[in-house]
């Protein structure tokens, strides 16, 4: 069964992305054995961790400067609903770009002019893809070097953004029209403190409103706005889009861009990106029509890349380059972060950041102090935030250099440069990733938040229902 499963769905077990698919592929009995082994492995690391282990990680985090708030921004969105949108596979290179004289993302291009737009914002996900992006955003911790933390450590103690907001009177919800067990979301969300998860069964999903992975993004927003209006306010709501997912399928009628990019995959991607853009436009229309707009802020982020290196030849041609160099590859990990606050003008922000920074940045806007000793990210509106991003594979971007595949590049020119220029930050990047991993493997947040629980983890019985 295991061999067959690996043939039919490569990476099924290493990525462990869907409980139900794994069960279907390897059988219920094998799944229980697999889950037991996975859990025992994780539990062992946790059992041997004690409050001493937290000292190194915590002293590392405590060295971070205390954020100095920007009085114009701190609390600028206090008490407002937070509408967080995960934009499936949206990379920054499609923004502000035209094909055949047509913008690929006309609505977003317009929106960034009226928003805080972080132009040098990077995705930091690993194998957990969408769920890793969610994890970064909600916890300001890095995802794991392999596997999906949503699966492997769904029972850890976290100080999540929804749980902090709940203490401040927020209602917290997620909208995603996929099976609730995908990425183990149902269990993880409960642990992160989400009050409600509107998943597949809450939506009216039919053949005529679905494509590819499921419900199309426009009907998804249309249906979910009604649900959001029923929620107590203020709320923190996370909307996870789906249509712009590989293999980028779209109904003819939804194709607003038809451009031959020299690769069928890239051409399809441009069309589904265009559709995603249209769906976000619809979300804003609906928010305005229903009155939600005025008492909400919108935080939109791309979750991870959509065009993998397999398609780099076509992408290089599309971008008018000879090839995609390792330096270019890092530039391609840029995803948009757009924060729209009705009533505020916004601006383009050149600081370098990543998904790990979203949690403290949102807290800053809501007027809630952040704890640098519990977060790896920085609030990007604070006056003294650093400017860098560390990617999950150890690559990093600072103001001066880009480091990847053991090579150091000048950030301004993209030319290889003296390795010594990358050396000091390379150490920091390694430490940052290592301490974050240690916190997750040892479930150290339980000590950092003041708990003394050293009891071994009990296998996740709820999964055996």
> So which residues are the catalytic ones?
130
Nearer to Mn ion, 338 or 445 (CB): 338
Question: Least distance from C-beta 337 to ligand GP9, angstroms?
Answer: 18
**Residue 303 near Mn ion by CB under 5 A:** yes
Q: Minimal CA–CA distance to 290: which of 53, 7, 83, 8?
A: 83
| Count of CB atoms situated within 10 Å of the CB of 255 | 15
The interface region with ligand GP9, picked from 27-35, 165-173, 202-210, 239-247 by CB under 6 A, is: 239-247
| Total number of residues that touch Mn ion (CB under 5 A) | 4
Q: How far is the CB of 133 from Mn ion (least distance, A)?
A: 7
Binding range to ligand GP9, per CB under 6 A, among 240-248, 282-290, 393-401, 432-440: 240-248
Running DSSP on this structure, what letter comes out for residue 416? B
Query: Cα–Cα distance between 148 and 117 in angstroms, integer?
Result: 29
User: How many other C-beta atoms are found inside a 10 Å radius of the C-beta of residue 375?
Assistant: 22
DSSP, residue by residue, 354-388:
EGGGHHHHHHHHTT----TTT-SS--TTSTT---E
x/- mask, ligand GP9, residues 243-262, rule CB under 6 A, reads --x-----------------
β strands within 222-344, DSSP E: 235-240, 296-302, 337-340
> CB of residue 244 vs Mn ion: minimum separation in angstroms?
9
Question: Which residue shows structure tokens 């802020």?
Answer: 297
Of 42 and 242, CB closest to ligand GP9 = 242
| Shortest Cβ 131–ligand GP9 spacing (Å) | 6
Among 130, 139, 160, 223, binds ligand GP9 (CB under 6 A): 130
Residues with Cβ within 8 Å of residue 222, at least 6 apart in sequence: 282, 286
* Residue 388 contact, options ligand GP9, Mn ion, none, Cβ 5-8 Å cut-off depending on partner type: none
Contact (CB, 8 A) for 270 and 243: no
123 binds ligand GP9 (CB under 6 A): no
Among 31, 182, 425, 435, contact with ligand GP9 (rule: CB under 6 A): 182
Instruction: Report phi then psi at 352, rounded to 5.
Output: -90, 135
Q: Does 129 bind ligand GP9 (CB under 6 A)?
A: yes
Comparing CB distances to ligand GP9, the nearer of 60 and 135 is 135
Q: Which residues of 26-41 are buried (b: 16+ CB within 10 A; e: fewer)?
A: beeeebeebbeebbee
Q: How far is the CB of 299 from Mn ion (least distance, A)?
A: 17
Phi, psi of 267 (to 5 degrees): -65, -45
> Which residue in 63, 53, 165 sits closest to 373, CA to CA?
63
**Binding residues among 78-107 for Mn ion as defined by CB under 5 A:** 88
Residue 178 binds which of ligand GP9, Mn ion, none (CB < 5-8 A, kind-dependent): ligand GP9
Q: List Cα–Cα distances, 133 to 17, 183, 340, in angstroms.
A: 14, 12, 20
Q: Does 46 bind ligand GP9 (CB under 6 A)?
A: no
The CA angle 177-179-184, to the nearest 5 degrees, is 120
Closer to ligand GP9 by Cβ: residue 137 or 240: 240
The answer to whether residue 178 forms part of the interface with ligand GP9 (CB under 6 A) is yes
The span of 237-245, 264-272, 414-422, 454-462 binding ligand GP9 (CB under 6 A) equals: 237-245
Number of residues that bind ligand GP9 (CB under 6 A): 7
Q: How far is the CB of 405 from ligand GP9 (least distance, A)?
A: 24
Site string for Mn ion, 321-340 (x = CB under 5 A): --------------------
Which residues have a Cβ under 8 Å from the Cβ of 390 and sit 6 or more positions away?
A: 124, 142, 354, 356, 396, 429, 432, 433
Q: Does 130 bind Mn ion (CB under 5 A)?
A: yes
97 phi, psi to nearest 5 deg? -135, 145
Does 191 bind ligand GP9 (CB under 6 A)? Our answer is no
CA gyration radius for the chain?
22
Residues near Mn ion, by CB under 5 A = 88, 129-130, 303
Binding site for ligand GP9 (CB under 6 A): 129-130, 178, 182, 240, 242, 245
């Amino acid at each position: 069964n295991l061999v067959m499963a690996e043939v039919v769905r490569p990476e099924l077990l290493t990525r462990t992305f869907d409980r139900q698919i794994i069960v279907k592929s390897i059988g219920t009995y094998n799944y229980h054995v697999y889950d037991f082994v996975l859990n025992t492995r994780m539990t062992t690391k946790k059992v041997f961790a004690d409050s001493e282990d937290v000292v190194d990680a915590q002293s590392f985090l405590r060295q971070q400067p205390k954020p100095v708030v920007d009085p114009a921004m701190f609390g600028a969105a206090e008490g407002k609903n937070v509408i967080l949108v995960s934009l499936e596979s949206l990379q920054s290179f499609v923004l502000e770009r035209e094909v055949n004289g047509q913008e690929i993302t006309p609505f977003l291009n317009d929106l960034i002019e009226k928003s805080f737009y972080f132009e040098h914002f990077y995705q930091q996900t690993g194998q957990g893809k969408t769920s890793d992006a969610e994890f970064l955003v909600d916890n300001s911790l890095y995802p794991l070097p392999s596997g999906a933390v949503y699966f492997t450590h769904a029972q850890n103690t976290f100080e999540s953004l929804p749980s902090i907001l709940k203490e401040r009177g927020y209602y917290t919800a997620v909208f995603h029209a996929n099976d609730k067990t995908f990425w183990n979301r149902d269990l993880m969300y409960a642990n992160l403190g989400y009050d409600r998860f509107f998943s597949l069964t809450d939506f009216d999903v039919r053949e005529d409103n679905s494509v590819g992975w499921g419900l199309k993004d426009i009907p998804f927003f249309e249906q979910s706005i009604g649900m959001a209006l029923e929620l107590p306010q203020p709320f923190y709501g996370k909307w996870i889009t789906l249509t712009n997912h590989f293999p980028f399928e779209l109904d003819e009628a939804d194709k607003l861009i038809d451009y031959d990019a020299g690769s069928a995959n890239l051409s399809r991607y441009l069309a589904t990106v265009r559709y995603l853009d249209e769906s976000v436009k619809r979300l804003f229309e609906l928010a305005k029509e229903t009155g939600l707009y005025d008492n909400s802020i919108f935080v939109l982020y791309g979750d991870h890349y959509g065009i993998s290196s397999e398609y780099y030849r076509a992408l290089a041609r599309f971008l008018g380059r000879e090839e995609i160099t390792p330096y270019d590859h890092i530039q391609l990990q840029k995803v948009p972060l757009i924060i729209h606050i009705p009533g505020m003008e916004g601006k383009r922000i050149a600081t370098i950041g990543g998904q790990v920074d979203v949690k403290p940045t949102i807290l800053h806007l809501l007027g809630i102090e952040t704890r640098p000793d519990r977060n790896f990210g920085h609030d990007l509106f604070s006056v003294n935030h650093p400017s860098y991003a560390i990617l999950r594979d150890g690559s990093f971007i600072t103001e001066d250099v880009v480091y990847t595949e053991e090579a150091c590049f000048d950030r301004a020119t993209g030319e290889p440069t003296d390795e010594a220029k990358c050396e000091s930050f390379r150490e920091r990047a390694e430490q940052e990733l290592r301490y974050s991993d240690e916190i997750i493997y040892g479930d150290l947040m339980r000590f950092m938040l003041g708990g003394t629980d050293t009891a071994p983890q009990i296998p996740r019985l709820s999964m055996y229902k």
